[in-house]
Amino acid sequence: MAEEPRDVSFMRAALEEAARAQAAGEVPVGAVLVRGAAILARAGNAPVGIHDPTAHAEILALRAAARALQSYRLTGTTLYVTLEPCAMCAAALVHARVERLVFGAWDARAGAAGSLLNVFTLPGLNHRVDVFGGVLMEACAAPLQAFFAARRAPL
């Protein structure tokens, strides 16, 4: 799939959120939730800072958009996230009725959009999310690789 200019633009906004998360000492993952041409919500990872294991960028963006729209159903939206979602986040996208997911880097260890497993193709789900991976893949993977390399470096 060729990268669409719109997808690239919104993924760059997600990368800005990832940079903010990294500056706060979090794993550098960022997300933006979009409807039409408008960003409804943006967030970076925050589990460490707010002491919440569910505070992944995707979840925080979904929560913010749901509050802003006064609805847990986020129909007609696209979530842009710099890293392939985990199983928790993928399931949340289904429950929120997000129409489309666009992610950057693949996550071989915990990715639930095709790497480790694919939540979006589980039988019996009452909603389907269109999934597109690899948008700005290198730009999305680089901050993650640097973050974890620094953590593994000898002191």
d(CA 88, CA 139): 24
What is the Rg, in whole angstroms, of the alpha carbon atoms belonging to the chain? Answer: 15
- Torsional sign, CA 108, 97, 95, 44: positive
CA distance 84 to 71: 25
Which one of 3, 16, 17, 58 is the catalytic residue? Answer: 58
- The separation between the first and the last C-alpha atoms of the chain, rounded to the nearest angstrom, is 42
- Angle of helix 57-69 relative to helix 87-95, nearest 10 degrees, comes to 20
Specify burial of residue 37 (Cβ count, 10 A radius: 0-12, 13-18, 19+): exposed
CA–CA gap between residue 11 and residue 30 (Å, rounded) = 9
Q: Is 17 a catalytic residue?
A: no
Supply the residues annotated as catalytic: 58
